[in-house]
Amino acid sequence: MNTIDLIVPCYNESEVLPLFYSEVCAVSEKRSDFDFTFIFINDGSKDSTFTVIEELAKQDTRVKYISFSRNFGKEAAMLAGLKYSTADYVCILDADLQHSPDLILEMLSSLENNPEYDVAAARRTDREGESKFKSAFSKFFYSVINKMSSVDIPESAQDFRVMRRKVVDSIISLPEYNRFSKGIFSWVGFNTLWFDHENRERAAGETKWSFFSLLKYAVDGIIGFSTVPLKISLVTGSAVSLLGILYALYIVIKTLIKGPDVNGYPSIICAILVLGGLILISLGIIGEYLSRIYLEVKHRPVFLIDKTNIQPK
């Protein structure tokens, strides 16, 4: 029998989980030749999400869960699910039903029929149910990261995807602590078949992303997949120094020809402010990379598990 694991990160999703479970069950019945397993990751929810998951596990042996000791973030939840998955095919999808469960079957059969493809991934065609500000910010972020990084990260790509076992094994072989999955998915390669997917409104509950968490996600993505910011400070620093040297030469020549000039206080202040600013920015950029290196060398686990009903592989 073919097998597929559904990885579902959940953070405060108690309202939507019963609905999610019944919709996905209905979808799974259409493919009776497949063994479906749910892997719910309770990412330190503060509501009754874990109780709901435990109830589901009591009713249905296909329901597996991993419950974290605290909130580690969606990236950690996805990694835990991938690490504990054993099926031939693995699907990642959100609990809020924004990722239409019907598409799982389409993605799955496309992989069965096209052996040359290893990943079937959803990309959104619209940004329904999202603020204009968030959409604009996200567009800007992807244009920046794609210019700076050598891996291509499509703006519309979602985490919603079905992958073959070998792709999952490749993803979990990357040991980094600071995980930016969209970059990792592109970095590991493999042929990807894209599915256009209309974003639906959340079925219940609310989004977990604030502006600052999105900003942090964007910085993590850029720092994790590009060293260009380090070069920006080198290039601007060099350009400003060159201008400074040219200006100094100009002053020396002017002084030799016209005699000393007591004015010039404003230009000195400007130079100090601009240069001081550039130095601080450069230090800040180096600091961002250094802090990532610091976290990586500590070799801390990406997540800690409190309870699970899955036997480790």
How far is residue 211's CA from residue 190's CA, in Å, rounded to a whole number? 32
How far is residue 20's CA from residue 13's CA, in Å, rounded to a whole number? 10
User: According to the binding rule CB under 5 A, does residue 199 interact with Mg ion?
Assistant: no
User: According to the binding rule CB under 5 A, does residue 98 interact with Mg ion?
Assistant: yes
How far is residue 10's CA from residue 39's CA, in Å, rounded to a whole number? 10
Nearest residue (CB) to Mg ion, 37 versus 98:
98
Backbone angles phi, psi at 91, to 5 degrees: -120, 135
How far is residue 66's CA from residue 77's CA, in Å, rounded to a whole number? 9
Q: Give least dist CB 8 to Mg ion, A.
A: 12
User: According to the binding rule CB under 5 A, does residue 96 interact with Mg ion?
Assistant: yes
Which stretch in 5-13, 95-103, 137-145, 227-235 sits in contact with Mg ion by CB under 5 A? 95-103
Q: Give least dist CB 202 to Mg ion, A.
A: 5
Q: Give least dist CB 42 to ligand UDP, A.
A: 8
User: Total binding residues for Mg ion by CB under 5 A?
Assistant: 3
Region of residue 50 (phi > 0: left; psi between -120 and 50: alpha; otherwise: beta): alpha
Find residue 157's DSSP bridge partners. Answer: 123
Nearest residue (CB) to ligand UDP, 23 versus 35:
23
Nearest residue (CB) to Mg ion, 128 versus 176:
128
Binding site for ligand UDP (CB under 6 A): 9-11, 13, 43, 71, 73-74, 77, 94-96, 98, 207-209
Q: Binding partner of residue 77 among ligand UDP, Mg ion, none, CB under 5 to 8 Å per kind?
A: ligand UDP
Tell me the C-alpha to C-alpha distance, in Å, between residue 212 and each of 138, 165, 182, 217, 219.
13, 35, 19, 8, 10
How far is residue 5's CA from residue 34's CA, in Å, rounded to a whole number? 10
Q: Give least dist CB 302 to Mg ion, A.
A: 21
Specify the DSSP element, H or E, that contains 278.
Answer: helix 265-297
Q: Binding partner of residue 74 among ligand UDP, Mg ion, none, CB under 5 to 8 Å per kind?
A: ligand UDP
Q: Give least dist CB 204 to ligand UDP, A.
A: 11
DSSP state of 198: P
How far is residue 127's CA from residue 123's CA, in Å, rounded to a whole number? 11
Q: Give least dist CB 95 to ligand UDP, A.
A: 4
Q: Binding partner of residue 10 among Mg ion, ligand UDP, none, CB under 5 to 8 Å per kind?
A: ligand UDP
